[in-house]
Chains A and B, each alone.
Chain A
Amino acid sequence: MSDLPKSEEILKDVEHAPPKKGWMNIPVDIRKGMYCYAANPKSLNALGFPNVHEWNPKDEDWNLPENWQEILHKGFKERLDRFRSVKVFMDICVRCGACADKCHYFIGTGDPKNMPVLRAELLRSVYRNDFTLAGKLLGKIAGARKMDEDVLKEWWYYLFQCSECRRCSVFCPYGIDTAEITIFGRELLNLLGLNIDWIATPVANCYRTGNHLGIQPHAFKDMLDFFVEDIEDITGINVEPQFNKKGADILFITPSGDVFADPGTYTCMGYMMLFKYLKDKYGLDVTWSTYASEGGNFGFFTSHETMKRLNSKMYAEAKRLGVKWILGGECGHMWRVINQYMDTMNGPADFLEEPVNPITGTRFENAKSTKMVHISEFTADLIKHGKLDLDPSRNDDLKVTFHDSCNPARGMGMFDEPRYVIRSVCNQFYDMPRNTIRENTFCCGSGSGLNAGEDMELRMTGGLPRANAVKFVHEKHGVNMLACVCAIDRAAFPDLMSYWVPEVDVTGLTELVANALILPGEKQRETNLRGEPLPGMEE
């Protein structure tokens, strides 16, 4: 982070006035701190991707295959014929500019090519040249341009400066969704072996070991066993999670990031405590899986096919174990995949039952085909029916705000369930300004596989709008805790907060729940899950 400019400077210096020169005449400048390293060929080969090769974004020559233009053109055409979204979105933009200032990367960097409309125009210009009569006849004046290496580099640079958050699509009068453009564009880049390592290696890991971090089954169990010890120290209860258990009621799947790094680990401990509670009180039998040990899906940031390949494990494992339905943990893009793709790609899940909460009798009608329920929906239902013994005062040292993660917000519409849960387990909750939450929410700046170390400036600038809104409630209400339902958030926000609002810490929702949850037979707790003294327990 040593090269990173100071936060005050970034905020002061960011300029949004467009340059004098037209955007087609400004060559791309692949700038350190703003891009991620090229994919390790080993990782791409592990999944059999085409045209794998060594290359470096900073090099003049990207070692492209000889017929790369032909590959791209063919790939473009195929997808125009397969995706109505791509075709319609190429055709109907009127460049009204409503999306221009909706992108967090534009707000944070001022780079005009981060305006959603221009990000799409990078591709549309080539579309006009290759596929439309006007573009062929009139060329540049019709907004068309030929694909060449500079254009390709521009595509690569800016398609990996979009986090597929869909904020622009809320404001577009035609619903043009830049996420869709980016997904499509990255799919094309993958035809040429131009992925980034922060995506390709987790994908390769996930394919083999079942999770992005490459945690092997025995290590996965070990890691959860560590949490068992920690929880026992704090509560006196052995929560003993179950793994790969056939005939369990519910299969639970969450991002492996929560197993691996703070503060996600506390959320993971929270899940374990919740399931222990439900088992002791109501006999609910929940199992974890080491095979389907990843909720997230970096395949989603690679191609539709890769998304499907990784996602297949969820249903396969549920079927093998013979569970009734699947419960999903807190993760953003994971829920976009589950909510909008999984059933279509790998369903129908006719071997599962329509999800019913056996404790409350609630039928999760909204998940009756996909048969996967979000932990916030599940917890909200339990709390509403008074099935959890809660002591919210244990969270009284926290003034909490909630970040709507992009995908659960704009790819699912889950807004009130998590808020209900927070209000039930915390006494002090303050929402950020309305224009920065719910469907207007801002990305953490690190979504869609961009949460690497080498692109820290991109992440900190892209996260500015979110951080600025957190700062607002921090100054106004003394908010000191940012809650979220996304593992990438939990990995990215600690950096973002320490850069912009160091007084605010980050938590998952279920950590808050577990802190308030009174386990049957627990000892008097002195600390929260982080080992910090509970309010009133300070020395």
Chain B
Amino acid sequence: MNEKYLFSLMSVVLLFLLAYAGVEVAGLQVLFGVIIPYMALIVFLAGFAYRVIQWAQTPVPYKIPTTGGQQKSLPWIQHAAIDCPDTKAQVVGRMAMEVLLFRSLFRNLVFKKEGDKLAYRMELFLWLGAIVFHYAFLVVTIRHLRFFAEPVPFFVTGLEKVDSFLQLGLPVVYMSGIALLAGVLYLAIRRIYVGHTRYISLASDFFPLFLILAIAVTGIMMRYFTKVDIPTVKELTMGLVTFRPAVPEGIGTLFFVHLFLVSVLLAYFPFSKLMHMGGVFFSPTRNMTCNTRAERHVNPWNYPVPVHTYEEYEDDFREHMIEAGLPVEKKE
């Protein structure tokens, strides 16, 4: 067994038990329902902002975009505006493709040795898994806004309608929940079973997956199986957003576990690789124009360096140069 994923798995199990025992045995509803969520949110916001500000304050001395397509050069040569953006608007296009559609992941070519030939084939499962996981997570998050606003915003109810259009089961099944579960399971299984991915993985790669898996499972349990009392939950969540926190009676322990795991995720976020969410916007190989010869980029810390000047060069070689008939500045 691999200690990295065991460590992460055990951590999530322990967190689960901690919240369960804390509420069920010790009756710490206020701690798990109010204090920890508040603290987690503060850590998340402050930590996220801190990280982003740190990146933003670090200079970008050179313009080093990866050119993924034809540069803009002669007018009769077809320019690849998205993969080799020449203007800021085109960079926005490239970034949108990257952030919204995972453009680079879509390029994935998997290498295989086939006899004495090397083959590189399109491989979209990672892209698909990532798209499903991220978009499902986004939809689930937006749906949860229903707990934090009264009246429920139109886009939340609209999204719920779309998300449940299959009209299966009671309460009606949200596809996003299933997709999130499938996505996170795929990513976790891939990490455990695909040789290279397992080999490069750290405990910190498994931990968020298991944590999100636990969050999704507890959420689904509450909605479809233990049938948590939603109006009471909303009483608690509305109390939190209006800064009049109160813990109403009759919310099951599972809810506090769910909320605690979400709090852990929030607090963990700024200190982990999950910051790729913010970092992707700061990647100099993607967010810069490729017009590097057309427009000068300034390095804020550019400093003078010792160089070997022409005069020094000529001093070194003057005689030889004159003898060879090369022009010189000084004749002796």
Binding site for B on A (CB under 8 A): 8, 11, 14, 16-19, 22-23, 48, 80-85, 87-89, 91-98, 100-102, 107, 112, 115, 117-118, 121, 132-134, 141-143, 166, 169-177, 180, 207-210, 216-218, 221-222, 243-246, 290-291, 304-305, 308-309, 312-313, 316-317, 320, 338-341, 343-345, 347-348, 362, 364-370, 372, 377, 380-381, 384, 409-417, 420, 433, 435-436, 438-440, 464-465, 468-469, 472
Contact = CB atoms under 8 A, between A and B. Distances in A.
Given A84-B59, A142-B203, A308-B305, A174 B118 contact: no
Interface of B: 3-4, 7, 51, 54-55, 58-74, 76-78, 80, 83-84, 98, 102, 104-105, 107-111, 113, 116-118, 120-121, 126, 130, 194-205, 271-273, 275-276, 279-280, 282-286, 290-299, 301-302, 305-310, 313-314, 316-317, 320-321, 323-327
A218 B323 contact: yes
Contact of A384 (B63, B74, B109): B74
B317 A217 contact: yes
28 contacts: A80-B58, A82-B58, A84-B284, A91-B55, A91-B279, A95-B201, A96-B105, A100-B200, A142-B202, A142-B204, A143-B202, A175-B283, A176-B283, A177-B64, A207-B308, A290-B326, A291-B314, A309-B308, A312-B305, A344-B297, A344-B302, A347-B296, A348-B296, A369-B296, A413-B70, A413-B80, A415-B71, A440-B109
Nearest to B301: A82
A339 B292 contact: yes
Contacts, number: 311
Chain A interface, DSSP helix/strand/loop, else mixed = helix
Given A95-B201, A320-B310, A84 B69 contact: no
Contact of A468 (B72, B118, B291, B327): B118
A175 B276 CA distance: 11
B271 A133 contact: yes
A464 B118 CA distance: 9
B111 A95 contact: no
A311 to B, nearest CB: 9
B113 A436 contact: no
A81 B66 CA distance: 22
Contacts of A472: 117
A263 B188 CA distance: 51
Contacts of B62: 304, 340-341, 344
A19 B194 CA distance: 13
Contact of A134 (B69, B104, B204, B323): B204
Given A141-B203, A411-B67, A174 B279 contact: yes
A168 B199 CA distance: 18
A285 to B, nearest CB: 14
Closest CB pairs A-B (n = 6): A413-B71, A413-B67, A92-B279, A218-B324, A175-B285, A18-B199
A169 B66 contact: yes
